[in-house]
Chains A and B, each alone.
Chain A
């Protein structure tokens, strides 16, 4: 599977990075790049990850992350990198 981009947006709280990265580790997904910032109390994170070793399908990864986000009041979106490279790279 191609690389995936995970974006996390929501009210800042403790443990966001810990819980997202733990979920990815447990799903055997390798993190390639991670960046995070807080704007006006809002947490904003982007993770580039390689799911090629993961036994999970895209839909399963997406479901787990969405559920985690819902439990923490965050919006977690998972997308294949292809949409961004198509749009921003010639």
Chain B
């Protein structure tokens, strides 16, 4: 039988160290909603989402209450919309209509984000994918809950530099369209390399075409729990440090697995994966940066940061893999700036720069995330940042992404505020030397030599 110390340990993690389940995300295929009339298609999309996800929020709340664990977000991911709308969307405005339908459906079922306003263009862009990408600024400015992502490269295909260049401009236009709210539209737009099909975390979630009709994916979190455990082994060897992180990640993931199985059973939907990501929030103590500092860094960004993050990312996976029957998504440690008070402090102290963050993305689970940059950053410079990240992902066979926010009207030294889980961020300086002649070349970067495995 469970003893009191175990009960106390779990409840201390929940109350004191802010352990929670970050998201239950229902993936819904919209492939069967395709139609040759856009309005009819929107009707089908509305019907399917509201039917499938009608009881998602209530189910999440019930499980949360019964287990005494906070389930922070209930969300939906859908098939990349560029595929669903290919036969009926004749203009960017048609795609905006689809985005508005997704937004309305999300509000009707009570979720707080819906992801999948997406296109997968890692080797080339079809006309409908181009229309969707061109509609992103308008779509994100006219909706509240819709999240968009574009996959511009992969280890198998190389990087589509035409898409990278286009996205540099689209990020900027999205910023301009939402300039009145500190360019918040860009917080809902992720540019990926090696995007996973089953990621439950926003803003990059979409329901991949390799998935079944409906699926439940769960994202666990728990940076506070890991920080607390790491603080208890101060000064001890790397062996002790790694074992401590691993054991903690195991416990956290077991809880996520339980929630995922319960949710799948009650919703009568197959269980997909548990994503073992340490996802920080702006709340004090719920910070990945704090873990790195507890490992022995004066500030995140100091020499040693990349090594510390590599340890953290790897041990989280090692602990989590055995705790769940299916692990997937991004899995590892997220290093967003605006959503992590420790990262914000490190930037403000002058310890953390974009260049150091880029190095950290070689070993974290995703990429440059929620970084506010000056609003006058050139489109080509943003494209250059995307190309750099995509190259890291392509060569290292990992997911990388860029979610930067060029905050229109603001410059280095000022702060952008996005509210809620998205937090706030100091505007960080970007290298201002031009890369225009490089990114303006057309075509693709070929796949790397180690992709030829057949």
Are A and B physically bound partners?
yes
A interface residues with partner B (beta carbon < 8 Å): 5, 7, 32-33, 35, 46, 48, 58-59, 62, 77-88
Separation in Å of the B98 CB from the closest CB of chain A? 38
Residues of B within 8 A of A62 (CB): 65-66
A86 touches B254 (CB 8 A): yes
Residues of A within 8 A of B354 (CB): none
Separation in Å of the B274 CB from the closest CB of chain A? 12
B453 within 8 A of A: no
A79 touches B1 (CB 8 A): no
B68 contact from A35, A48, A83, Cβ within 8 A = A83
Q: How far is the CA of A81 from the CA of B251 in the complex (A)?
A: 15
Q: How far is the CA of A83 from the CA of B13 in the complex (A)?
A: 12
Residues of B within 8 A of A87 (CB): 6, 10, 251, 254-255
A46 touches B4 (CB 8 A): yes
Separation in Å of the A73 CB from the closest CB of chain B? 18
A80 touches B1 (CB 8 A): no
Given A77-B11, A83-B255, A83-B258 in contact, is the A88-B66 Cβ separation under 8 Å?
no
Q: Please list 10 pairs of residues, one from A and one from B, whose beta carbons are closer than 8 Å in the complex, sorted by A's number.
A: A5-B7, A35-B4, A77-B11, A82-B258, A82-B262, A83-B10, A83-B258, A87-B251, A88-B6, A88-B251
B449 within 8 A of A: no
B349 within 8 A of A: no
Q: How far is the CA of A85 from the CA of B254 in the complex (A)?
A: 9
Besides A77-B68, A83-B255, 19 other A-B contacts (C-beta < 8 A): A7-B7, A7-B11, A33-B1, A46-B4, A48-B2, A58-B66, A59-B62, A59-B65, A62-B65, A78-B68, A80-B66, A81-B2, A82-B67, A82-B258, A83-B67, A83-B68, A88-B6, A88-B9, A88-B251
Residues of B within 8 A of A82 (CB): 67, 258, 262
B257 within 8 A of A: yes
Given A33-B1, A58-B66 in contact, is the A84-B257 Cβ separation under 8 Å?
no
B68 touches A79 (CB 8 A): yes
Residues of B within 8 A of A33 (CB): 1
B67 touches A79 (CB 8 A): yes
Residues of A within 8 A of B140 (CB): none
Q: How far is the CA of A86 from the CA of B4 in the complex (A)?
A: 15
A86 touches B66 (CB 8 A): no
Residues of A within 8 A of B257 (CB): 86
Most B C-beta atoms less than 10 A away, residue of A48, A78, A84: A84
B102 within 8 A of A: no
Residues of A within 8 A of B68 (CB): 77-79, 83
Residues of A within 8 A of B9 (CB): 88
- The 9 residue pairs across chains A and B that have the minimum distance between CB atoms: A79-B68, A86-B258, A83-B67, A88-B6, A84-B2, A86-B254, A87-B251, A46-B4, A80-B66
Separation in Å of the A35 CB from the closest CB of chain B? 6
Residues of A within 8 A of B62 (CB): 59
Q: How far is the CA of A35 from the CA of B2 in the complex (A)?
A: 12
Residues of A within 8 A of B2 (CB): 5, 48, 81, 84-85, 88
B276 within 8 A of A: no
Q: Nearest CB to that of A80 among chain B residues?
A: B66
Residues of A within 8 A of B11 (CB): 7, 77
Q: How far is the CA of A66 from the CA of B255 in the complex (A)?
A: 24
Residues of B within 8 A of A81 (CB): 2
Residues of A within 8 A of B10 (CB): 83-84, 87-88
Most A C-beta atoms less than 10 A away, residue of B2, B11, B69, B254: B2
B255 touches A80 (CB 8 A): no
Q: How far is the CA of A88 from the CA of B6 in the complex (A)?
A: 7
A84 touches B7 (CB 8 A): yes
Separation in Å of the B319 CB from the closest CB of chain A? 12
Separation in Å of the A70 CB from the closest CB of chain B? 16
Q: How far is the CA of A52 from the CA of B9 in the complex (A)?
A: 26
Complex interface bits, B49-71 against A, C-beta within 8 A gives 1, otherwise 0: 00000000000001001111100
Given A48-B1, A86-B258, A87-B251 in contact, is the A80-B6 Cβ separation under 8 Å?
no
A83 contact from B1, B4, B69, Cβ within 8 A = B69
Separation in Å of the A10 CB from the closest CB of chain B? 14
Q: How far is the CA of A77 from the CA of B70 in the complex (A)?
A: 13
Residues of A within 8 A of B6 (CB): 84, 87-88
Q: How far is the CA of A79 from the CA of B262 in the complex (A)?
A: 14
Residues of B within 8 A of A5 (CB): 2, 7
Q: How far is the CA of A62 from the CA of B251 in the complex (A)?
A: 25
Q: How far is the CA of A88 from the CA of B2 in the complex (A)?
A: 8
Residues of A within 8 A of B65 (CB): 58-59, 62
